Amino acid sequence: MSFDSNHSENIKMELVFSLRRAGVTEPSVVATMERVPRELFVPEVFRSRSYEDITLPIGHHQTLSQPAIVGLMTEALELNDRKKVLEVGTGSGYQTSILALICRRVYTIERHASLLQEAEKRFDKLRIRNVTAKVGDGTLGWEAQAPFERIIVTAAAADIPPILADQLSIGGIMIVPIGLGDNFQTILKVIKKENGFKTKELRDVRFVPLIPEEVTGT
């Protein structure tokens, strides 16, 4: 599906309104989300709904989060063009692309090889060159590239993942959905201090679970 210029402008404005309703006001985040073509990351059958504030399936029992949640989590990272970010769960690459356009470098891990291959094609199409990606177990982080100033986890964990916490630099921020089962999870903002962690609950959400030790080539 293609969008004509007038229709595209209207749906982009709807996106901005949904971000504002969710409390996302950081100009760099809003402008970047306007700029990234969300329809590129959506299966064709759902493309007409690309800019609705809803979660969409992307295959392998994974989802593309609603724009308001993507905006909220991105804003909470407090990014700038000097930050080095680890993303756990590349998925379609939508969140990755937004991060990459704001920060210095993104390292992203996806356990489904086919999802990562498709995401990398999208990075190429958008000429995004500051993303390094690999297939692997995101719960293990990326020790060779640690520490990270920012970490974002796009799947729900039972608690703050200890290995990821270890790979966060002092003063760094991790954004992670906490809670499993059928109930809502809570997005947690974790700030690493010299003597421990400071946490803040942001809002309730629903995410697919963070699954350790399972990497698939499909």
Cite the active site residues.
65
Q: Distances from the Cα of 143 to the Cαs of 38, 93, 206, in angstroms?
A: 31, 22, 28
Q: What residue spans of 103-209 are helical by DSSP H?
A: 113-125, 162-166
- Count other C-beta atoms under 10 Å from residue 95's C-beta: 25
Q: Distances from the Cα of 155 to the Cαs of 10, 35, 82, 127, in angstroms?
A: 31, 25, 25, 26
Asked if 204 and 59 count as a contact pair (C-beta separation under 8 A), the reply is: no
Parallel, antiparallel, or unpaired: how do β-strands 185-193 and 62-64 relate?
Answer: unpaired
For residue 36, give the amino acid letter.
Answer: V
Asked if 95 and 68 count as a contact pair (C-beta separation under 8 A), the reply is: no
